[in-house]
Structure 1
Amino acid sequence: MPDDPSAATTLGEPRLATRQRRTRRQIPRHVAVALPLALAGLISLLVTGNTLRPFETITTIDARMASKSDYFRDPEVQRLLLEHGLRVDVRRLGSRGIATQSLKGMDVVFPSGQPAAKLILDRQDRSVRSVRPFVTPLVLATFRGYAETLVRAGVAHRQPAENGAKSLYYDLDMTKFTHLLDGADGPPAHHDGEDADADHWNGIGYDELTGRSNSGRVLVRTSNVCESNAAGTYLSILAFVANGNSTPGAEHTDEAGRAAEVRAVGRRIKPLISLQGMWADEQAESYFSDIGESIAPISVIYEHQYLAHQIAHHDRYGTQDDQRVLLYPTPYALTEPQLIGLTDDGDRLVRLIEQDPELRRRAIELGFRVRFSGEDGTSEQLNAYLRDHGIQAPAPNPDQSKVYEPDLEVLEEIIDYVGDCVPPVRDAS
């Protein structure tokens, strides 16, 4: 111990630590960067009224459709439907296939024409809601060299185009054209094919006009008449023309006379279909492919498919695709696809397509002639849209002769005869 007690060390009072000072943490850089974006997204949701959209229930509609599935596969249409809480799951099948196969599990179907729609409606045991939202003509899609060859042969005529541009559209005389297909009444001009059964492209001047050669027969490639509304409608045109521009079976009250006429018409038009074979798929995809011209000179498609291609082509390249052109048959056939609800969810979709102006507007932008106020088909809105986008609008058909499809039973007989169709397995729903 120290000798001097006064030298003892004085101890301070102990301190009670109540809180430890912490260093303030900085917000991570990636979070700081993301915050303004998240805030902007929240403001956008608040402004558009979609704040609760992620928490809403989306109803999936199970659908079976033919070529009009193009409409429901469009991204803008899908976006508009999602705003109403609907998503459409499309299973693609030809219209007649839809009409004759099982519909179990389906909420809605969308056959491309009235014959298939009637077959479906006749099978329903519930009150059905349906709508025909738009119409589209059946057309023959080809390429300029072949169209100009048909002009030279005297069976097609160019529609006028503005400012000296190449026309995208031609009117086709189906009576003269079927003579080219079967050679029955000889050549329509000074050229004719070498084969007695059908004319050939070189035989009617394709090689002389284009400097290229095609010794194949003049034929039209179509999908399977046993499954496809487009093929069945084309068959109706051929049958109408083969029957002297008269609907087969319409003027016979006796069963024997009607059956004899149907068989006679079927025999005359079957070679026009079976010579080129029938394809299970729709023809538009092949026609618009890079090798479309080598696949088939002429294909059966719908007008809306061609116009949608031209709109997309102009948006991408700033010009029309003037090598692909359309032949408008005279007499003409106008198809009316029908959206049919099979369940309550299906009815909900039908009501929306029938009433929503944005969905109708989008149909015009996809090349459809949309119905308004019960009119048969309004073309002016479509034509105005085409002109505004630098695309030639088709002219009204100069010949208003329209093909009226045969009675459903008669049409079924002709299709079965021409296509050698296998009887379908039907169900009651």
Structure 2
Amino acid sequence: MAVDTVREEQAMRRLTDSLLETYSDTHPAERVETVIGSARQRFAGRPVREFVPILVERIVRRELEPESVVTVSATAVGAAVAEERPESAGQRLGAALRGMSAPNKRNAGLLGGALTVVAVVVVAMVARQPDPAPVAVPGVGLSVVRGVVGSEKVPFFQDQRVVDALAEHGMRVEVDPAGSRQIATSIDLGAYDFAFPSSAPAAERIQRARNVNVKYTPFSSPMAIATFQPIVDLLTPAGVIKPGPVPTFDIARYLELVRANTEWAQLPDNTAYPVRKNILISTTDPRTSNSAAMYLAIASFVANDNAIVQGQPAEQAVLPTVSKLFVGQGYTENTTQGPFHEYLAGGMGPSPLVLIYEAQFIEATTRGQIKPGMVLTYPSPTVLSQHTLVPLRAGGDKLGRLLVADPTLRQLAAEHGFRTGDAAEFAKVTQGVPVAADLIDVVDTPTYDTLEHLLDGVTKSYN
């Protein structure tokens, strides 16, 4: 997939998540997604793509809020324009406006207000007229550092406090989200100053490919499982969940149920979730995402008689079991933001068990998104996902050093749920949140090559 296409898909995913949250109280999720899809389809085949997400948002908000007046963000347009020479941006936006006004009168009517605002902003910037005042572009004069990061770190980099802290050091950081294995295998890193996957193995692959010896690990997050109290009540007598101040999820017992193709409806006295589908944890796509690869590391350890998988015989022995964890799920997304959003918005119907990073649950708790009955459990054993920054240029190296050493950035990382190595700092942030203060049952991941072999084996099982 071309980088520009990846960026558009990422922008549309962020837009979809934002609109679903905005209209969760007034419109069903299916309605919002349908309107988004219809709006985007209007621009199918158009060669100029930069402004599609902005205009799709305009259309969707106009349709879902017919009586409201929605304005296009001048800052957003200004930032897009600032990436090109002014005359080029003006020409490209002009082409977009001409192409998008053609389909029919209804489209033209819907887009008229949005295109007028966008056009005024761009014309003002391109012509550099003293009156009206030019649009201010945030971060002017700062050194722009661009990176591709695991999606769970996007809220951290978008936090205005983080933006301000980095600005004090003379930089403005722009990030694109992607699955960590995708970052290591298929993303063109030539346009970036740093890569920030969510695991040491993915970072190791990037280091090998780019011949980079330096890396920074400013924070980490254990893998966890988000579920609901009725599911806890079902899986406790089944021996899967062990109760306690922080419940644990017994992977060995869970694998027994998976091997037997046990369905939810087959659990004794199940009136809370009598669904005829296999008991499976919802994950991301192991072919692209780090969280699924970490899940594979956990499961392979348990399936290998509680030993780290080493060598081809052990790999082949565990593959039949670990492959079942993924192929029975159907469609899976590339980043953990997708399944976790479904957990938050959809309830236990579609997602009774969701593999996440602990930091996601903590951050959602501090934002008031965790509802009564939502429960965080820890796989037993679990793995610690080491968020590792690989600098590709000088700006990325500076950022890595700041994330490790700057007290303000470390504190803000903790407030986003990440473990920075300061136990007192983490305890202060998670006060009142049912998380494990000390992680004891933690195992190491296999070597980079072994994990790749296992992932390749799982990939083949899809076919």
Q: Secondary structure, in 3 states, of the residue corresponding to 1:301?
A: strand
Distance 1:272 1:56, change over 3 A: closer
Distance in 2, matches of 1:154 and 1:178, equals: 11
1:224 equivalenced with 2:301 (yes/no) = no
Distance 1:87 1:339, change over 3 A: same
Cα deviations by residue, 1:318-342 (Å, 9 ceiling, x for unpaired): xx63321112011121111101111
Distance 1:55 1:415, change over 3 A: closer
Aligned to 1:57: 141
Aligned to 1:411: 451
Identical counterparts, % of pairs: 30
Question: Quick one: which of 242, 254, 266 aligns to 2:319?
Answer: 266
Q: Give yes or no for contact 1:206–1:214 (8 Å, CA) kept in 2.
A: no
Gaps of 5+ in 2: 1-137
Aligned to 2:208: 122
Aligned to 1:276: 329
1:392 equivalenced with 2:434 (yes/no) = yes
1:98-117 aligned at under 5 Å gives the runs 98-101=183-186, 102-117=188-203
Distance in 2, matches of 1:121 and 1:158, equals: 41
1:202 equivalenced with 2:255 (yes/no) = no
Aligned to 1:346: 396
Cα deviations by residue, 1:201-223 (Å, 9 ceiling, x for unpaired): 22214633x3x532321111111
Q: AA paired with 1:59?
A: S
1:383 equivalenced with 2:430 (yes/no) = no
1:181-196 aligned at under 5 Å gives the runs 181-183=258-260
Q: Secondary structure, in 3 states, of the residue corresponding to 1:370?
A: coil
Q: Give yes or no for contact 1:144–1:325 (8 Å, CA) kept in 2.
A: yes
Distance in 2, matches of 1:339 and 1:381, equals: 22
Q: AA paired with 2:458?
A: V
Distance 1:385 1:56, change over 3 A: same
1:237 equivalenced with 2:298 (yes/no) = yes
Aligned to 2:93: none
Cα deviations by residue, 1:69-100 (Å, 9 ceiling, x for unpaired): 33212222122212222111111111111111
Shift of 1:273: 1.5
Distance in 2, matches of 1:394 and 1:405, equals: 20
Q: Give yes or no for contact 1:141–1:287 (8 Å, CA) kept in 2.
A: no
Q: Give yes or no for contact 1:331–1:402 (8 Å, CA) kept in 2.
A: yes
Shift of 1:261: 2.1
Distance in 1, matches of 2:412 and 2:139, equals: 27
Q: Root-mean-square deviation (CA), in Å?
A: 2.3
Aligned to 2:364: 309
Distance 1:393 1:408, change over 3 A: closer
TM (norm. structure 1) is: 0.70
1:331 equivalenced with 2:381 (yes/no) = yes
Q: Give yes or no for contact 1:136–1:302 (8 Å, CA) kept in 2.
A: yes
Q: Secondary structure, in 3 states, of the residue corresponding to 2:225?
A: strand
Distance in 2, matches of 1:239 and 1:363, equals: 30
Cα deviations by residue, 1:247-301 (Å, 9 ceiling, x for unpaired): 111xxxxxxxx22221121122211211113513334443443214222111111
Distance in 1, matches of 2:362 and 2:139, equals: 38
Matched pairs, number? 322
Shift of 1:199: 1.2
Q: AA paired with 1:201?
A: W
Distance in 2, matches of 1:392 and 1:99, equals: 33
Q: AA paired with 1:379?
A: A
Higher RCO, Cα 8 Å, sep 6+: 1
Q: Give yes or no for contact 1:226–1:421 (8 Å, CA) kept in 2.
A: no
Distance in 2, matches of 1:170 and 1:267, equals: 28
Cα deviations by residue, 1:116-172 (Å, 9 ceiling, x for unpaired): 01001112235x442101111001111111122111212212222xxxxxxxx3111
Distance in 1, matches of 2:371 and 2:427, equals: 17
1:179 equivalenced with 2:256 (yes/no) = yes
Q: Could you say which structure has the larger radius of gyration?
A: 1
Aligned to 2:100: none
Distance in 2, matches of 1:412 and 1:130, equals: 20
Q: Give yes or no for contact 2:343–2:354 (8 Å, CA) kept in 1.
A: no
TM (norm. structure 2) is: 0.65
Shift of 1:421: 9.2
Cα deviations by residue, 1:14-35 (Å, 9 ceiling, x for unpaired): xxxxxxxxxxxxxxxxxxxxxx
Distance in 2, matches of 1:395 and 1:344, equals: 36
Gaps of 5+ in 1: 1-53, 161-168, 184-197, 250-257, 315-319, 372-377, 423-429
Q: Secondary structure, in 3 states, of the residue corresponding to 2:184?
A: helix
Q: AA paired with 2:367?
A: A
Distance in 1, matches of 2:229 and 2:423, equals: 25
Distance in 1, matches of 2:219 and 2:258, equals: 32
Distance 1:402 1:393, change over 3 A: closer
